A and B are shown apart, each in its own frame.
Chain A
Amino acid sequence: MKHANDRKRTFLLMTIPVVALFFAFNTLPLIKGVMYSFTNFRGYGTYDWVGLRNYIDLFQDGRVGKSYLFTLKMAVAATIVTNVISLILALGLNSKIKFKSTLRGMYFIPNILGALVVGYIFNYFFTYIIPALFNTTSILASSTWAWVGIVAVCAWQAIAMNTIIYISGLSTVPEDVYEAGSIDGATGWERFKSLTFPLIIPFFSINMVLSGKNFLMVFDQIMALTKGGPAQSTESISFLIYNNGMAGGQFGFQSANAVLFFVIIVAFSVAQLQFTSSKEEQL
């Protein structure tokens, strides 16, 4: 009994201060931000309350609607591409290979290169190199295909981080699982499907959520590659929120957009988390 109390108290002591800090620097400003979404605030100076006007406008704004569709399409594609490749890469980098450290180090590099460098190089790649190789026009200049270029660059950069998470997930898989597996004669795909993958499901769901979130909030790559063009076909939600809200004069309206966006992803990911955590418990 004494022990149970100690355990409870310790857990509370561990949680409360940190969650309080989180409240002060995340929830508190969020509440203020939500408040601005009911104003015509420009980010500075005076402002008036406008009631629900921003929210009503939001649903009538074709540009905002388009940005939601684009962001969703892009995020789904990029999440799938990234997770498939980084899972394969992590399995490869985790197996008994030569030059293990060097290879892991090299595959980490895309993540550290700044947006300016990535933007310049891939612009060059899409504008000059690909058209010369395949005798086509640049996909970044096509309002139908520019999003594919963005998916490619986003995935290229994000794979490094997701691979690290998968590698650390694979490190929790005890060696004896494999030994038991090889005695049973399980090999390759079979072994992955029935032995490895179930053990790294928590990491799979973390990666899905993290990459999904990062791609839904895509901003840097858009600025580096297309700046929303051509023909406004690659304007992501964050692009609008930042460019029109922060840099432009639509702070109040874009705050409303941010609130809506937040509510949508939270609903979506809480559902996903609940779903995967119930799966985890079954195992």
Chain B
Amino acid sequence: MRKREKMISLLLACTLPASMFLTGCGGSEAEDGKIVIELVHYKPEAVDVFEQLEEEFNKTHDDILLKIDSPNDAMTILKTRFIREDYPDLLGIGGDINYSYFIDAGILADVSDYPGIADINQGYRDILEGLEFVPTEGTYGVPYVANAAGILYNREMFKEHGWEIPTTWEEMITLCDTIRGEGILPFYYGFKDTWTCLAPWNSLAVDLAPADVCQQVNAGKTVFADEYREVAEKIQTLVSYGEDGPFAYGYNDACTAFANGESAMFAIGSYAVPQIKSVNPDMDIDSFVTPGSSDPDGQILNSGVDLQFCVTKACEDEGKKEAAYEVLNFLLADENLQMYLDDQSAVPCKSGNFTLAPNLDGMKEYITEGKIADYQDHYYPSEMAVDAQIQTFLIEQDVDAFLTKFDTDWVRYNRDIIQMVKDYNAQNGNQ
């Protein structure tokens, strides 16, 4: 009997610290009646800016308490919180397929009554609209910043050799030949990390395929075998100007190689600049739009919403929407947005006079003119693993097999969405 008591006390002894701990960390209630707005975003790399913004906001607002959470792996955290029906008030997410799913799941509130939305560049608002599976009444996100993908180049090296920025596909090829002729590697690829295959793919696809190609395929109007053939052939050509066996090297290898001057160009997005600069802080990087088309005016910048803010339904239902808008006003204020841009070298979605990072010089014109189109992979379901399919294609070099598989897989992975589109069209077709 004595032993048993001992055992129980031992058990208690080891659970006790745990339960004491629990009481210690509970309690996220608002003090002194302030409205609490919780913002969860998926950019842990921007945690320092967000902390600054949070502090600044709370200093200037007596009625609202802003809490910004910058978790790692925010998408998993958000999904698990949704399972628990524990919704934050504001989400900071990307304009990708998760956003489409969140709208479809009815998690987001309509923000078309938000006055600030009028200041947002129309191009980015259209990109968000395009991400809805079926046209939905209302607006569900306020685009904040964008990123742009194309070709990064070593400006110093280009100056030294007198190379010109290409404006057409033909010039691009001539440039690659010239660079190679001088004994320098034109491109360095990191295709071991499959997602990097999407960067040249997307930036060619915006020039060569219609922006709404996925919706068109869903509606049964066309097939990828027709729309993507040129993209597939041109990406093959571009890859031939890279290092030998690009499938052995990862994103990190490619960033390091480019930073150390091992290649003249790197087909990737502006998002890679911080990683490159960590290796070579003094490097002068600029970028240009991938010239996929033979028409100099036919090039389009590949740019997508990198960070947007969405108000959740739960926040609206609790009557906190006005407070959430107040937070949005603050975040979108020119000086605060500029602070974010400086820190993350991002592209603003708001129209206005902002200072852009020097590595975006070559793309500035397209941004101000709104000649932009979204990353096509934002419409691809992630489980279809298009990045891996492109990698497979580049290894096996079989255009037809790749395109055929693309079409069959597309139907298989998008079955529910295609059905949804069909139902929608059947309902609205007669009107």
Contacts and interface: CB of A to CB of B under 8 A. Distances in A.
Direct touching of A and B (C-beta under 8 Å): yes
Interface stretch (A75-83, A247-255, A263-271, A273-281): A247-255
Interface in A218-268: 226-232, 243-250
Given A231-B396, A249-B381, A43 B79 contact: yes
Binding site of B, secondary structure by majority: helix, strand, loop or mixed? helix
Contacts of B174: none
A40 B248 contact: no
Nearest to B73: A247
Range class of the A interface residue count: 20 to 34
Interface stretch (A133-141, A155-163, A173-181): A133-141
B154 to A, nearest CB: 23
User: Which of B106, B107, B245 gathers most chain A CB within 10 Å?
Assistant: B245
A123 interface: yes
A46 B105 CA distance: 6
Contact of B105 (A45, A137, A143, A244): A45
Contacts of A11: none
Binding site of A, secondary structure by majority: helix, strand, loop or mixed? loop
Contact of A137 (B79, B248, B382, B388): B248
A179 B245 CA distance: 59
Contacts of A248: 381-383
Contacts of A227: 192-194
Nearest to A123: B250
B82 interface: yes
B117 to A, nearest CB: 25
B192 A40 contact: no
Interface in B79-102: 79, 82-83, 97, 101-102
A254 to B, nearest CB: 8
Contact of B388 (A42, A43, A228): A228
Interface in A115-161: 123, 127, 131, 137-138, 140-141, 143
Contact of B249 (A127, A249, A250): A127
Contacts of B106: 45-46
B425 interface: no
Nearest to A45: B105
B245 A141 contact: yes
Contact of A143 (B75, B250, B383, B395): B395
A25 interface: no
B83 A243 contact: no
Interface in A61-115: none
Contacts of B83: 43-44
B103 to A, nearest CB: 10
B391 interface: yes
Given A44-B79, A229-B194, A231-B391, A244 B249 contact: no
Contact of B383 (A123, A127, A232, A244): A244
Contacts of B249: 127
Interface of B: 75-76, 79, 82-83, 97, 101-102, 104-107, 192-194, 245, 247-250, 253, 381-383, 385, 388-389, 391-392, 395-396, 412-413, 416
Given A127-B249, A230-B247, 15 more contacts: A43-B79, A45-B101, A45-B104, A46-B106, A141-B247, A141-B248, A229-B391, A232-B388, A232-B391, A244-B382, A244-B385, A245-B383, A247-B382, A249-B381, A250-B413
7 contacts: A44-B79, A131-B248, A230-B192, A246-B79, A247-B75, A249-B97, A249-B381
Interface of A: 40, 42-46, 57, 123, 127, 131, 137-138, 140-141, 143, 226-232, 243-250
